[in-house]
């Protein structure tokens, strides 16, 4: 295998924070940055975890590692990690203790103009069950 098998972690942030932290509300961009970062380094995303305030030892994070499916965590930025896992520093320490690298994709955030924020708002506020697009 030519790289790590990675778990991408994205933060689930309330839509009310769209005006102040659009990147954290935009889950698609977080996962896309993780995928872009991983692909550029020859890594493969094998799992995506969407979280808000998970404890650092939560099984949703560690199951892919424990099962041998993954051997790297990647998150779009430090603020996303802080929202996804509480406390983030404890998660970092646990990664170090267990020998699992934790990488910050650290790519530039996309530009968020009013139209982009409106698209995110519509996408995230749409009902998911039974929605027929009308």
Cβ neighbors of 88 (< 8 A, separation 6 or more) are 78, 81, 82
C-alpha 15 chain-centroid distance: 16
**Terminal-residue alpha carbon distance, the chain:** 45
Cis peptide before 24 (omega within 30 of 0): no
- Does 84 fall in a domain? yes
pLDDT of residue 24: 85
| 13 domain-assigned | yes
Give residue-wise pLDDT tens across range 45-97: 999 999 999 999 999 999 999 999 999 999 999 999 999 999 999 999 999 99
H helix intervals, the chain: 22-25, 27-40, 59-66, 78-84, 88-98, 114-125
> Domain for residue 133, yes or no?
no
134 belongs to a structural domain? no
Of 111 and 69, more confident: 69
Output the average pLDDT for the chain.
88
* Per-residue pLDDT at 128 exceeds 70: no
CATH assignment at residue 59:
3.40.50.1390
The lowest-confidence range among 21-25, 38-42, 78-82, 90-94 is: 21-25
Does residue 134 carry a pLDDT above 50? Answer: no
- Give how many domains the chain has, as a whole number: 1
Domain that holds residue 22: 5-125
pLDDT of amino acid 129: 52
pLDDT over threshold 50, residue 131: no
Residue 130 lies in a domain: no
In a domain, 74, yes or no: yes
So what's the pLDDT on residue 126?
63
**Domain-located, residue 65:** yes
Q: In this prediction, what percent of the chain has a pLDDT beyond 70?
A: 91
């Amino acid at each position: 295998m030519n790289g790590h098998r990675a778990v991408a972690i994205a933060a689930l942030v309330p839509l009310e924070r769209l005006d102040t932290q659009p990147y954290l509300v935009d889950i698609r961009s977080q996962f896309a940055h993780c995928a872009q970062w991983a692909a550029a380094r020859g890594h493969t995303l094998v799992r995506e975890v969407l979280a808000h305030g998970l404890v650092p030892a939560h099984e949703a994070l560690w199951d892919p590692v424990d099962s041998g499916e993954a051997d790297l965590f990647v998150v779009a930025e430090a603020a996303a990690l802080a929202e996804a896992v509480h406390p983030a520093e404890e998660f970092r320490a646990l990664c170090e203790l267990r020998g699992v690298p934790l990488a910050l994709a650290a790519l530039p955030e996309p530009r968020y103009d009013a139209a982009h924020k409106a698209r995110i708002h519509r996408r995230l506020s749409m009902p998911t069950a039974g929605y027929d697009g009308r």
